Amino acid sequence: MTPGDASPAFWSAPATFLRRLWQSVAFRLALGYGASVLLFMMVLLSVLYVQTIGVLQGRIDRQLVSASHRLVGHFEAQGRQRLVDEITETLTDGLNRDTEGYLLATPGGRRIAGNITPSPALLQPSPDITDQMLLRDGRPSFSRIHVERLSDGSILVVGRDMQDQQSLEQLISHALAAAGGVALLLAVIGAIVFRDQLERRVGDIRRTAARIEAGDLSQRIPVSGRDDEFARLSHDINLMLDRIEILMDGVRHVSNTIAHNLRTPLSRIRAKLDVVNRPGADLAQVSQAAAFAIREIEELTLVFDKLLQIAEAESGARRQAFQPVSLNDIVSDVVELYEPVAEERQVRVSTELAEEAIAPGDKDLLASAVANLIDNAIKYAGSPARVSVRTVQTPEAVSVVVQDNGPGIAPAERSKVGTRFFRLNRRVPGYGLGLASVTAIAHLHHATFELDDAGPGLIARLTLPRFGPA
């Protein structure tokens, strides 16, 4: 029978089978389990890849730095000619001839010794080890190099050809791709093979779901003694249905986090009080310990107040009290409040206010958010320290923008700064609640909170819907 003679039912049968297969919860669960195993394997192999390549590159970097320091030592101790002789001896000793590269050049770019052809890109000293394409013995070579400027102005370049490293990276990459393909194929085949067995286990879940839908929320899925996929799934669904246990787990998690982050100040208070509780403590020591304990307790009180504020903002309890608020007034008041702190830390704070910046919101919460942004900017400002605070309006929105010239935040870390107790630099005082509070307040106001690179520094932008007609 030719394709033209085939009936529509003949061609629709495979499509129907595939559609029913995909509609099967058991198939999708088994496929998902296989995919999770595949993901775990790929993550494990990726870590292995990164660690392997990282170790090799780290060893090469240490060799480059060591060789550079050795040659610089010869130069400083015995002069340029000794350095030239050392480079020549190294290149002619027959060891690592295919990979090593050296160059000693004048500040103008004339080669004095070595097997690397000078180029403008090579004559730029840098504390970092970089990768460059260069000419080594007249042949192109992708190398990792370390460049130093000597005391007489000449340039010393120490390099290592990376062809072997690239070959190893390609080999590992191909192995990862092959392993991923095989694992994916096994995941699909395994999902099809176990589909019938898994579908027999879904009946308990369906019956329990029907009883819960009828209103009996005390029902739970029977869990077999087997430690298989459906036993774990049934256990997870039971946990989800058990609301009290979920709430208790949430409270326990928050309590553990608070205990972990507040243990240090409480330990400091205890240690201070233990010292003055010993026999022989004089009145001055007792007074000093009491003052210290009061300061620490006040800081803990601020932490709990901040946590309560975050919880209140996340719950949305104050949304009904929103009124038109002038962001210009809030910025002016907060900047005035922080002027003594900025002056003490020698931080220059400048403001730039839009003609009109009105947004619906809670004035106290918005003021707290702006204060947290300014406080954070003052803490991390560079030298000379500068912080700018401005309001910006568009036809649809108004924003408060706080910018500093500090170290900024790496893109990979920006998604974490809104997490309670997350701190990038633990040498800076704080508990990691400021930006978490800003995030919660922004969510309450249907606003957006963004962090961008200022190059150098950080730009924090709180954007709210504009009040009234555009």
pLDDT tens digits for 443-464? Answer: 888 888 888 888 788 899 999 9
CB 421 within 8 A of CB 427: no
The dihedrals phi and psi of 388, each to the nearest 5 degrees, come to: -120, 140
Domain check: are 44 and 174 in the same one? Answer: yes
Weakest-pLDDT range from 206-215, 224-233, 246-255: 246-255
Secondary structure (3-state) at 463: strand
Q: What is the pLDDT of residue 402?
A: 92
pLDDT of residue 258: 64
Compute and round to an integer the Cα radius of gyration of the chain. 33
Q: Could you give the 3-state DSSP secondary structure of residue 32?
A: helix
Handedness of CA 373, 375, 381, 383 (dihedral sign): positive
Instruction: Please state whether the predicted TM-score (pTM) of the whole model is above 0.75.
Output: no
Question: Are residue 227 and residue 102 in the same domain, yes or no?
Answer: no
User: Are 233 and 264 in the same domain?
Assistant: no
- Cα separation, 441 vs 456, whole angstroms: 27
3 lies in some domain: no
* Residues 41 and 120 placed together within one structural domain of the fold: yes
CA distance 124 to 45: 37
Q: 195: pLDDT confidence band, cut at 50, 70 and 90?
A: low
Residues 211 and 270 in one domain: no
160: left (phi over 0), alpha (psi -120 to 50) or beta: beta
Establish if 114 belongs to a structural domain: yes
> If you ran DSSP here, which 8-state letter would residue 466 be given?
P
DSSP state at residue 138: T
pLDDT tens, residue by residue, 62-120: 888 888 888 888 888 888 888 888 888 888 877 777 788 888 888 888 888 888 888 88
Mean pLDDT of the region 387-398: 90
Average pLDDT of every residue of the chain: 78
Q: Is the pLDDT score of 280 beyond 60?
A: yes
Strands (E), 223-377: 323-326, 347-352, 358-361
Q: Residue 125 and residue 105: Cα distance in Å, rounded? A: 12
Domain assignment present for 19: yes
Choose one of 271, 292, 315: the last residue of a domain: 315
Q: Per-residue pLDDT for 205 more than 60?
A: yes
Greater pLDDT, 33 or 331: 331
In single-letter form, the type of residue at position 141 comes to: S
Residue 398, pLDDT score: 92
What residues make up the domain containing 449? Answer: 319-465
DSSP structure class, residue 1: -
How much is the average pLDDT of 302-309? Answer: 67
Of 15-24, 142-151, 289-298, 312-321, where does the model show the most confidence? Answer: 142-151
CATH number, domain containing residue 301: 1.10.287
Q: How confident is the model at residue 245 (pLDDT cuts 50, 70, 90)?
A: very low
Helical segments of 106-194, H only: 163-193
pLDDT tens sequence across 106-121? 888 888 888 888 888 7
User: Domain holding 71: CATH number?
Assistant: 3.30.450
Residue 177 covered by a domain:
yes
Distance, CA of 170 to CA of 455 (rounded, Å): 35
180 and 116 in a common domain: yes
CB 162 within 8 A of CB 100: no
Q: List Cβ<8 Å contacts ≥24 apart for 363-367.
A: 363/323, 363/325, 363/330, 365/309, 365/313, 365/318, 365/441, 365/444, 365/445, 366/325, 366/327, 366/330, 366/441, 366/445, 367/330, 367/333, 367/334
Domain total for the chain? 4
> Would the pLDDT of 401 be above 90?
yes
The Cα 233–Cα 225 span in angstroms is 13
Looking at residue 388, which CATH number applies to its domain?
3.30.565.10
Pick the most confident of 8-12, 35-39, 175-179, 404-408. Answer: 404-408
For residues 142 and 48, state if they share a domain: yes
User: Does 400 score more than 80 pLDDT?
Assistant: yes
Of 262, 280, 315, which marks where a domain is finished?
A: 315
| In a shared domain, residues 398 and 410 | yes
